[in-house]
A and B are shown apart, each in its own frame.
Chain A
Amino acid sequence: MRKLPSRWIRELLIPLLTLVLATSCEQYPRDPQDSLNQIEQSGTLHVGAIENPPWVIGNPPDSPAGVEARLMERFAGELGVEVVWHWGNEGKLFEGLSRYELDLVIGGITTGNPWKRQAGFTVPWYSGHAVVGIPHGHAPLSSLEGITVAVRQGEGFSGKVQDKGGRIQFVKDLAGVDNMPVAARAWEIDALGLENSGITLQQFQHVVAIPKGENALLMRLEDFLLANADRKTVARLIAREAER
């Protein structure tokens, strides 16, 4: 038993100390495919952009606008590199990401995204909600039981409204809805000049997609997002994009 301390030092402490020294000297964690170093060496950040307002707005061949496009430009600025934009749909861009052809993919990607097995996701940097909005002066809603809600067809909110006992009225344009509760994302409710009824339909945890396992890039990007994408900044960016 008296031998134990020296054995512990040999078998546990020394490797641990070596590890701490090794990790404090250089980049840790590292990228298996060396993404971050290559970005810095080549001076280019290859970002896949999926059109999805207000996160990514625009059309090829223009550079995208939108909240996430702005953020990624700032991130590139912090790294001292230029962004090279690659427009595409999810299938194409996530395939490119899984082959390490792209460094990042943006476009309102949330944690529920079905491509998550092919990619790595950052920690959620913004949490958005789908809510029911009501016109100013409308009687407050305590529940959706028996209430008809205007839903833009094709966004998938009808199920959530029905789950809460509401009835659906599909519309093409939410701006044309008159004196009726509306289901939409919270920022859109604000942009439409409606009031948030406090009834939440769904939560969205927004993430940025990176190539799987590129942990140095991931840590760097998360550091950036945690420092720069606070709720206030994001809200300001959304408001600016919504005005366009």
Chain B
Amino acid sequence: MSLRSVYHLPEDKKRLLDKARRLEWITLGFQISIVIVMYLALGSSQAMKTAWVEDMLSMIPPIVFLISLRIRHRKPDTSHPYGYRRVTLLAFLMAAAAILVVGLYLIYEASHSLITQNHPTLGHFDLFGHYVWIGWVMIAALIYAMIPPVILGRIKIKIAKELHEKTLYADSMMNKADWMTSGAATVGVIGIGFGVWWLDAVAAIFIALDVLKDGYNNVKCAMSDLMDSRPNSVESGKPLGIEERLTEEVLRSPLVENASVRLREEGITVCGEVFVQLKGQGELGRQLKELSDEIGKSDWRYHNLVIMPVEKIGPSQDQPAANSARNKA
């Protein structure tokens, strides 16, 4: 069996990925502290409870990112000859689904408290022996809950774009959802103070629509990536057009007469096939086509097998004879 070669990230990208990993640990740490602080200040405001649940769900993207980071560095083996890098796409789907769930949850909770006309009852809170209005405590907790996501989200989004790391991008979108929900809840609590009981639910619905849109776009992009879409932008999901660039580059080689490529994403890397018509290739092209047609008949499942002439058969193209898959009697 032929195994795919091990991919090594360029040094600068490796450093960025390390930074991303550290940032995700920091995010998790802050997120846990936020969940605790919010729990302690949890009153009967619906928006506050919603923001709290949202903060718990927002731990999903960093967690799946960190897990995927462990798996994607595994070397290709006989059970996964193409390697484990596509786990990144799976992590992206999970992170995107988490955003979508948050959006749906926010809509449900907010409309529920509007329909049931839930008037939040907020009285005194025992703050280390001083009794204050719990609304102030909630606002303080919510402002604390806004600061880390704003800062971390901004740093992460830059790295995500540079690394073509969609899980990280989804996570920074989640951070955006985080601080916006907390902001809406703050407005809601202030509104409760002014006797406007419905303000927090209405604020939550506006935020929810934005989160829902992010979640929907990200899930769509993740599913399309899993279905081998063309490499597309982390930010907009539009095709990057690297196929054209690659074809031009291949055509620049003196060996090549004509060329065509097809590419797909495997997480942060791009792979695919480059088809070339070599100058003076003689019978090679026709012979390979015949071989392809012939093996295609032996099993109905074979479809579009790519035949790749190489210099020497080994377990992988740049990893000579490390594994036992050489008997081509």
Binding site for B on A (CB under 8 A): 19, 23, 28-32, 34, 120-123, 210-216, 218-219, 222-223, 226
Contacts and interface: CB of A to CB of B under 8 A. Distances in A.
Interface residues of B, number: 19
B36 interface: no
Interface stretch (B11-19, B170-178, B192-200, B260-268): B192-200
Interface in B286-308: none
Given A19-B190, A29-B195, A30-B194, A215 B131 contact: no
Of listed A28, A29, A31, residue having the most chain B CB within 10 A: A29
Interface of B: 44, 118-124, 126, 131, 133, 135, 190, 192-197
Contact of B123 (A30, A32, A34, A122): A122
A122 B121 CA distance: 9
A32 B195 contact: yes
23 contacts: A23-B193, A28-B193, A29-B133, A29-B135, A29-B195, A30-B193, A30-B194, A32-B195, A34-B195, A123-B124, A123-B126, A211-B119, A212-B118, A212-B121, A213-B121, A213-B197, A215-B121, A215-B122, A215-B123, A216-B195, A219-B133, A222-B123, A223-B124
**Which of A32, A123, A218, A226 has the most B CB atoms < 10 Å from its CB?**
A32
A122 B119 CA distance: 15
Given A210-B121, A218-B121, A222-B131, A28 B197 contact: no
B97 to A, nearest CB: 32
Contacts of A210: 121
Given A123-B126, A215-B193, 17 more contacts: A23-B193, A29-B135, A29-B192, A29-B194, A30-B193, A30-B194, A32-B119, A32-B196, A122-B123, A123-B124, A211-B119, A213-B119, A213-B120, A213-B121, A213-B197, A219-B124, A226-B131
Contacts of B194: 28-30
B114 to A, nearest CB: 13
A223 B130 CA distance: 12
B62 to A, nearest CB: 26
Contacts of A213: 118-121, 192, 197
Nearest to A26: B194
A219 B123 contact: yes
Nearest to B120: A213
A122 B122 CA distance: 9
A120 B193 contact: no
A32 B199 CA distance: 11
A29 B131 CA distance: 14
Contacts of B135: 29, 215
B123 A218 contact: yes
Nearest to B196: A32
A19, A212, A226 pick with most chain B CB within 10 angstroms: A212
Nearest to B194: A30
A208 to B, nearest CB: 11
A172 B135 CA distance: 47
Contacts of A121: 121
Contacts of B193: 23, 28-30, 215
Nearest to B123: A218
Contacts of B196: 32
Contacts of A219: 123-124, 133
A28 B192 CA distance: 9
9 closest residue pairs by CB, A with B: A213-B119, A120-B121, A30-B195, A29-B193, A212-B119, A218-B123, A32-B195, A32-B197, A222-B124
Contacts of B195: 29-32, 34, 215-216
Listed residue (A31, A210, A215) with the most chain B CB atoms within 10 angstroms of its CB = A215
A28 B119 CA distance: 16
A212 B193 CA distance: 14
A117 to B, nearest CB: 9
B127 to A, nearest CB: 12
